[in-house]
């Protein structure tokens, strides 16, 4: 939540290059930590965002990945998107997609006007699991 007590949004645009994947992973980790996510949940979100970026990275037609982080405590939603070739969809039976969906409450892929968006959502819990 922002200092005004309302939901907050962070937007990030990075080159579609594996060298830059650490940036959205760091951003989601920081936002999750500031919003009472457990250490395990923070790690899960980092990995999920990494997988979403990795799925889109080789398909980015314009060489850019866009990430939008929406914080609405206790929920954190990350939308990672790229312009992709016509008709391309991630393989939802792949290992990467399986990992992605196992780490968050929900994950979905949607195409609109040639831009594919992978959305992941997680909710902070009050206690750290033992």
| pLDDT at residue 6, rounded to an integer | 66
List average pLDDT for each run of 10 residues in the chain, which is 130 residues long.
69 96 96 94 96 95 97 96 95 93 96 96 71
| pLDDT at residue 125, rounded to an integer | 82
| pLDDT at residue 30, rounded to an integer | 96
Based on its alpha-carbon atoms, the radius of gyration of the chain, rounded to whole angstroms, reads 14
| pLDDT at residue 130, rounded to an integer | 42
| pLDDT at residue 107, rounded to an integer | 97
- Provide the residue ranges of all domains of the chain, joining segments of one domain with +: 9-123
Fold of 9-123: Heat Shock Protein 90 (3.30.565)
Tokens representing residue 125 in the block:
């819990």
């Amino acid at each position: 939540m922002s200092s005004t007590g309302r939901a907050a949004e962070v937007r990030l645009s990075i080159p579609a290059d594996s060298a830059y994947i650490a940036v959205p992973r760091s951003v989601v980790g920081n936002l999750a930590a500031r919003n009472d996510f457990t250490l395990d949940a923070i790690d899960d979100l980092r990995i999920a965002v990494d997988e979403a970026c990795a799925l889109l990275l080789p398909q980015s037609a314009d060489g850019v990945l866009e990430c939008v982080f929406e914080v609405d405590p206790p929920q954190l939603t990350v939308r990672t998107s790229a312009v992709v070739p016509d008709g391309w969809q991630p393989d939802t039976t792949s290992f990467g997609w399986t990992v992605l969906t196992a780490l968050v409450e929900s994950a979905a892929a949607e195409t609109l006007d040639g831009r594919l968006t992978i959305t992941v959502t997680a909710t902070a819990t009050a206690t750290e699991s033992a």
